[in-house]
Chains A and B, each alone.
Chain A
C-alpha cells in the first residue's frame, strides 16, 4: 500500500516537474512549481524526514511561491506601463534542444548509476550524532545537529540570510536608499484578504512560536516557525493593515542583525567557558540553545519577510510615464 503511494507520488512529482520546466506560460509554470514543492514535502514525510518536509512546504513551496508570483505581477505591471508586452527572447533551435536533451540525459544516467551503486553498508554519522544527543538536553536529533553538532553551519546560514538581504537592498537606487519598500497594491478594504489578515495572525503567531519551541523535542524548529511568523507579517502588509518599514530604520536593523550577532557572541564565549568556538558547557547547553533559537527566530522571520517585500522604490522610480 505504502509502495503504491510512493510510486504515485513519484509519478505526480515528475509530471509536475516536466510541467514546470516546459509549460507554455510563466504563470502556469510557477503554479506547477508550488504544487511540485508540496508533493516533495509529502515525499519527505515518506522518507521519515518530517523536519525537512516542513521546511520544504514552508520555504520551498510557500515562500518561493510568493516570491515568484510577486515577480510575475511586477513584470506584467512593468509591461503594461510601457504599453507593450515584454519582447520574447529568441527560442533555442530544435537541433540544439535535442543535443541539450541528450547531454542532460547522459548527466542523469551517470547520476543514476551512482545512485544504484551506493556503497553498502551506508556510511553514517548517525551514531556520532546520537552519542552527543544526551549532552545537549534536546530530544530532537535534528535540532541537536543544527544547534550543537553542526552549529557552525547554522551560524553561517543565518549570516548568509543577512548577506542575501543586503544584496537585495543594494538593488535599490541611491535616491531611495533607506526608505520603505513599495507597499503591495491595496485590496478592497472589506475583502476576504483583509478579513484573513485580521483573523489569521493571532493564531499564526502562536503556531510559529510553538513550532520553534517544540523543535527541541519533536519535528519543527526555528526555520519553520520563523517562516510562519514571516508569513503573518507579510499577510498584514499585503492587506494594507501594516506598512512596510523603512529599511534604514534602526529598530529594523537591530532586529535583523540581533540573531546572528548573539549567536556569534555565544560562539566566541565558547572559548572562555568551554574549550572551543561554539562549544557549550554540558550544564548550560539546553538554556544556551533555547536562548539562541529565541533570538534567531525573530531575526530570521524579519529577514524572510523583508526579502519577499524586495528593495525600496523600484516601481515608481524606473517605470516610464509614456
Chain B
C-alpha cells in the first residue's frame, strides 16, 4: 500500500512548494525572480493535483487518467504564459533603458 505513504508525503511537498513560491513572488524585488518563484508555485499546484490523481489507487484502477491528462495540458499552458511574461519583461527592460537614455 505504497500510495498511503505517498499521498501525505508528496502532498505536503506540493503544499510547501506553493508556500515557498508565493513567498518568493511577494518578497523578491526583481521581476524575473518573481516569474521564477511563480513557476515554483505552479509546480507545487501541479504536484498537489497529481497526488489527487494518485489517490484512486485504493480502488481497482491504478491511477486516474483524467487529472493526469489535465496536468499535461496545464504544464503546456503554464509554459506559454511564462514565455509571454518573460518576453514582456525583456521588452520592458529595453524600453526603460531607452527612456533613461533620452532623459
A interface residues (Cβ-Cβ under 8 A, vs B): 2-3, 6-7, 10, 13-14, 17-18, 20-22, 26, 29-30, 33, 36-37, 40, 43-44, 46-49, 51-52, 55-56, 59-60, 63-64, 67-68, 71-72, 74-75, 78, 82, 86, 88-92, 96-97, 100-101, 104-105, 107-108, 111-112, 115-116, 118, 120-122, 124-127, 129-130, 141-142, 144-146, 149-150, 153-154, 157, 160-161, 164-165, 167-168, 171, 221, 223, 307-308, 310-311, 314, 318-320, 322
Contacts and interface: CB of A to CB of B under 8 A. Distances in A.
Given A89-B29, A126-B61, A164 B90 contact: no
Nearest to B13: A10
A142 B37 contact: no
B75 A121 contact: no
Interface in B24-56: 24, 26-33, 36-37, 39-40, 43, 46-48, 50-56
Contacts of A157: 73, 76-77
Contacts of B91: 171, 311, 314
B69 A142 contact: yes
Contact of B72 (A21, A118, A146): A146
Contact of A318 (B69, B72, B94): B94
Contact of A154 (B16, B73, B80): B73
A36 B76 contact: no
A26 B27 CA distance: 15
A21 B50 contact: no
A92 B87 CA distance: 25
29 contacts: A6-B6, A21-B23, A21-B28, A21-B36, A37-B43, A47-B50, A49-B71, A51-B72, A56-B46, A56-B75, A59-B75, A60-B75, A64-B39, A67-B86, A78-B97, A92-B27, A100-B26, A101-B27, A104-B19, A105-B19, A142-B65, A142-B68, A149-B66, A157-B77, A167-B84, A168-B83, A311-B87, A318-B97, A320-B101
Contacts of B43: 17, 36-37, 40, 60
A65 to B, nearest CB: 11
What 7 pairs across the A-B complex have the smallest Cβ distances?
Answer: A108-B19, A21-B24, A89-B29, A164-B80, A122-B55, A145-B69, A115-B11
Nearest to B80: A164
Contacts of A17: 16-17, 20-21, 40, 43
B63 A49 contact: yes
Contacts of A59: 75-76, 79
Contacts of A112: 11-12, 15
B18 A48 contact: no
B44 to A, nearest CB: 8
Contacts of A7: 9
A10 B80 contact: no
Contacts of A92: 26-29
B69 A150 contact: yes
Contacts of B48: 111, 115
A6 B51 contact: no
B40 A21 contact: yes
Contacts of B76: 55, 59, 157, 161, 223
Given A115-B8, A115-B51, A74 B90 contact: yes
Contacts of B31: 89
Contacts of B27: 92, 96-97, 100-101
Max chain A C-beta neighbours (<10 A), residue from B26, B27, B28, B62? B27
Nearest to A114: B15
Contacts of B94: 78, 314, 318-319
B8 to A, nearest CB: 6
A122 B58 contact: yes
Given A126-B63, A223-B72, A318-B94, 7 more contacts: A3-B2, A88-B29, A104-B26, A121-B59, A161-B80, A320-B98, A322-B101
